[in-house]
């Protein structure tokens, strides 16, 4: 599973209020300096402006008198969808139309008055490029939990785009709201009757794990093997969801992972005696990050498999073999058999012939 659907109890995250391309025409207008509406969970402000990168440098957001922008503590500033530093806005700006978004914390009293100032490349003088005296305004809405429909995969709540990375508290742009990630385990129907095991690696925190809306793990501690049991439907829409009360602390294992699916007609169990020692000479590329990561996950799978194995790593002359990294991925413990492929091909051909027969019987 390389792509996850992220769900959040915060409306701002679900709808993507920070995105440059978000349409905010339905939001109310609010002038700078005016009182903010009552919003126990905070207020979001948006505005657009024009900028030409070739003409300016060193752009920064300031108060109208040129001093540092006086924003309430906890304010998150987004420029063109990315969270940024008001004092160093230039790296996030683009030529043409730009979007600035302020996520103000609960308790903020008034819409700020701000200016964007930058230094002219030809004159070398700092000037005002844009003034923000009129905002689009909307109050944040955070539900107490993710909906049961979202957890099952049948209800709304997804963020605008899927993610390959599990969001964590390291993303300061995320509100402290219930959060989940969900993916479909698209296992073919002809595997029906097999016992499936789900392997989860380097998952931060201790999320609840749901299968098709049914709670199967109260608090996950990765790495872990989870038996999916009879709740697995084998209909191509089986949904796994990890649910957190708020964004978890990141796993201290890097920021990338490995996802692998191995197809084989059959893999016999190893015939090693207990306590056997295996020697392995790593070849070219074996100590690269990808290979190191794969070795680590292989060791974790063996450690929690039905037949317990333990791999110990020794230092190699080329360096330590024990890999490190992070992953949000699932490994299937069920094997694919060559006979299944022939059966699926027969079913597909039968359906195709039936569809053609129906088409021939339809009137022109």
pLDDT tens, residue by residue, 275-321: 555 555 555 555 566 666 666 777 777 666 665 555 555 544 444 44
- Answer whether 218's CB lies under 8 Å from 235's CB: no
pLDDT band at 252 (very low <50, low <70, confident <90, very high): low
Task: Determine the pLDDT at residue 276.
Answer: 59
Lowest mean pLDDT among 49-53, 94-98, 163-167, 284-288: 284-288
pLDDT band at 114 (very low <50, low <70, confident <90, very high): very high
The token duo for 51 is 């900028």
**Cα separation values, 318 from 281, 285, 288, 291, 344, Å:** 11, 11, 11, 14, 47
**CB atoms inside a 10 Å sphere around CB 199:** 19
d(CA 178, CA 172): 15
Strand order in the sheet with 197-200: 224-227, 197-200, 330-332
Compare 42 and 259 and report the one with higher pLDDT: 42
Task: Determine the pLDDT at residue 137.
Answer: 97
Task: Determine the pLDDT at residue 326.
Answer: 30
Lowest mean pLDDT among 121-130, 185-194, 209-218, 311-320: 311-320
Q: Residue 32, preceding bond cis, omega within 30 degrees?
A: no
d(CA 201, CA 294): 11
Task: Determine the pLDDT at residue 255.
Answer: 44
- Answer whether 219's CB lies under 8 Å from 210's CB: no
Which residues, at least 6 apart from 194, have a Cβ–Cβ distance to it below 8 Å? 334
Highest mean pLDDT among 130-134, 221-225, 349-353, 356-360: 130-134
- Answer whether 334's CB lies under 8 Å from 196's CB: yes
Task: Determine the pLDDT at residue 122.
Answer: 92
Lowest mean pLDDT among 100-104, 131-135, 282-286, 312-316: 312-316
Task: Determine the pLDDT at residue 229.
Answer: 83
**Strand 134-139 relative to strand 43-51, pairing:** antiparallel
Mean pLDDT of 49-73: 93
Task: Determine the pLDDT at residue 334.
Answer: 42
- For residue 260, pLDDT beyond 50: no
Average pLDDT of every residue of the chain: 81
Give the tens place of pLDDT for each residue, 323-340.
Answer: 333 333 333 344 445 555
- For residue 341, pLDDT beyond 60: no
Task: Determine the pLDDT at residue 90.
Answer: 94
- Answer whether 246's CB lies under 8 Å from 178's CB: yes
């Amino acid at each position: 599973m390389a792509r996850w659907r992220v769900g959040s109890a915060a409306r701002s995250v679900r709808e993507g209020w920070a995105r440059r391309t978000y349409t905010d025409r339905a939001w109310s207008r609010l002038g700078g300096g005016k009182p903010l509406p009552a919003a126990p969970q905070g207020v979001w402000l948006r505005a657009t402006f024009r900028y030409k990168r070739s003409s300016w440098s060193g752009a920064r957001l300031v108060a109208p008198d040129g001093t540092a922008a006086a924003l309430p503590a906890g304010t998150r500033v987004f420029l063109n969808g990315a969270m940024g530093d008001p004092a160093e806005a230039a790296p996030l700006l683009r030529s043409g139309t730009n979007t600035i978004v302020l996520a103000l914390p609960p308790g903020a009293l008034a819409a700020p008055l701000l200016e964007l100032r930058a230094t002219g490349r030809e004159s070398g003088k700092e000037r005002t490029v844009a003034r923000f005296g009129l905002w689009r305004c909307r109050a944040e809405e955070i539900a107490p939990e993710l909906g049961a429909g979202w957890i099952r995969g049948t209800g709304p709540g997804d963020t605008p785009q899927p993610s390959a990375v599990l969001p964590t508290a390291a993303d300061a742009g995320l509100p402290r709201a219930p959060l989940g990630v969900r993916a479909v385990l698209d296992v073919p129907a002809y595997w029906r009757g097999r016992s499936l095991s789900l392997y989860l690696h380097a998952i931060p925190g201790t999320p609840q794990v749901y299968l098709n809306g049914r709670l199967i793990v109260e608090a996950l501690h990765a790495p872990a093997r989870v038996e999916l049991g009879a709740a697995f439907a084998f209909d191509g829409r089986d949904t796994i969801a990890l649910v957190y009360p708020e964004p978890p602390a990141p796993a201290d294992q890097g920021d990338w992972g490995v996802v692998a699916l191995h197809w084989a007609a059959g893999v016999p169990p190893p015939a090693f005696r207990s306590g056997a020692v295996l020697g392995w000479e790593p070849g070219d590329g074996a100590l690269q990050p990808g290979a190191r990561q794969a070795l680590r996950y292989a060791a974790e799978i063996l450690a929690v498999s039905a037949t317990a194995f333990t791999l110990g790593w020794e230092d190699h002359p080329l360096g330590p073999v024990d890999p490190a990294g992070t992953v949000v991925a699932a490994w299937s413990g069920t094997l694919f058999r060559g006979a299944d492929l022939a059966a699926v091909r027969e079913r597909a051909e039968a359906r195709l012939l039936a569809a053609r027969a129906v088409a021939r019987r339809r009137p022109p």
